[in-house]
Amino acid sequence: MIHLTQKTAFITGGTKGIGFGIAQALLSQGVSVAFTGRHKAGVAQAQELLKHHCHDSDVKGYTADVGVFDDLDRAARSAVKDFGGIDLVIANAGVGHFAPVHELSLDQWHETINTNLTGVFYTLKVLAQQLIQHRGYFISISSLAGTNFFGSGSAYNASKFGVTGFTQAAMLDLRQFGVKMTTIMPGSVATYFNNHTPDDSDFWKIQQEDIGQMVVDLIKMPPRTLPSKIEVRPTVPGGLK
């Protein structure tokens, strides 16, 4: 997938944060972008902002919850119809609930697993045939929490260890069709994750456009070569003293 123009990406959770950064980076390379979010207003607002980077018809948002199969299936079918096909899928949508395991509620557990893990499976499930047809590329946004566990992280760790394992196993199934699959595992990124609002004190963190650049670099790799699992972290946690 070295020639990027005339390609189309489908990004879950493209309204803000990492998904938005990836959408900006891909649009700047001439890739058309279909993206999702849960809320109509948020999707419309992100679509307006992203249009500053491209022609109006190059970007379109769809309201869909990744944890609801029919919702996501409807959005994917609409995107295939609107853009004529999907070549690149970014399973990015995610939430974080952090609490000691004995205080973690059932709702927190289910929302984390449904969104972060089942949502990644649903995202691949609804677009796998497109990827096979186009010899496309699937990238999941896991986390360093998909390999390092920590207190109060039981639900999040379970979901992200799951995403890492899911993507690597699915890669073994689909690469024989020429489909590339990569798991990106970031450390701290300056986003709206877990009700954070990015500000100047986040200067030392990875920025959302850095993950966007990483996605562009990945899809420009020679077709024969697949970086399948990537850990990426801030160079100096907290910044230089």
Ligand X SMILES: NC(=O)c1ccc[n+]([C@@H]2O[C@H](COP(=O)([O-])OP(=O)(O)OC[C@H]3O[C@@H](n4cnc5c(N)ncnc54)[C@H](OP(=O)(O)O)[C@@H]3O)[C@@H](O)[C@H]2O)c1
- Which residues of the shown chain bind ligand X in the complex (CB under 6 A)? 12-19, 36-39, 42, 65-67, 92-95, 115-116, 141, 143, 186, 188-189, 191-193
As measured in angstroms, the least distance from the Cβ of 170 to ligand X is 17
- In 96-226, which ranges are continuous DSSP H helix? 106-113, 119-134, 154-174, 208-219
Nearer to ligand X by Cβ, of 14 and 153: the residue is: 14
Residue 156: active-site member? yes
Closer residue to ligand X, CB minimum distance, 61 or 134: 61
Cα of first residue to Cα of last residue in the chain, in angstroms, is 42
CB of 60 to ligand X, least distance (A): 15
Q: Between 65 and 87, whose beta carbon lies closer to ligand X?
A: 65
The DSSP 8-state label assigned to residue 175 in this structure reads G
Q: What is the b/e burial string over 209-224, where b = at least 16 CB atoms within 10 angstroms of the residue's CB?
A: bbbbebbeebbeeeee
Determine the Cα–Cα distance for residues 168 and 12; give it in Å rounded to an integer. Answer: 19
Minimum separation from the CB atom of position 210 to ligand X (A): 12
The closest of 140, 44, 34 to 94, measured between CA atoms, is 140
**Beta bridge partner(s), residue 59:** 33
Q: Are 116 and 40 in contact (CB under 8 A)?
A: no
Q: Which is nearer to ligand X, 113 or 221 (CB)?
A: 113
- Between CA 56 and CA 54 the distance in angstroms is 6
Q: How far is the CB of 139 from ligand X (least distance, A)?
A: 11
132 vs 188, which CB is nearer to ligand X? 188
Structure tokens at 79: 């995107």
We find the least distance from the C-beta atom of residue 38 to ligand X, in angstroms, to be: 3
Closest CA to 126 of 79, 162, 72, 178: 72
Q: Tokens 């489908």 correspond to what residue?
A: 10
Pick 132 or 204: Cβ nearer ligand X: 204
Instruction: Report the sign of the C-alpha dihedral through residues 94, 68, 63, 183, in that order.
Output: positive
Catalytic residue among 62, 122, 156, 192: 156
Provide, rounded to whole angstroms, the least separation between the CB of residue 92 and ligand X. 5
> Longest Cα pair distance anywhere in the chain, in angstroms?
52
Q: Collapsing DSSP states into helix, strand and coil, what is residue 22?
A: helix
Residues catalogued as catalytic: 156
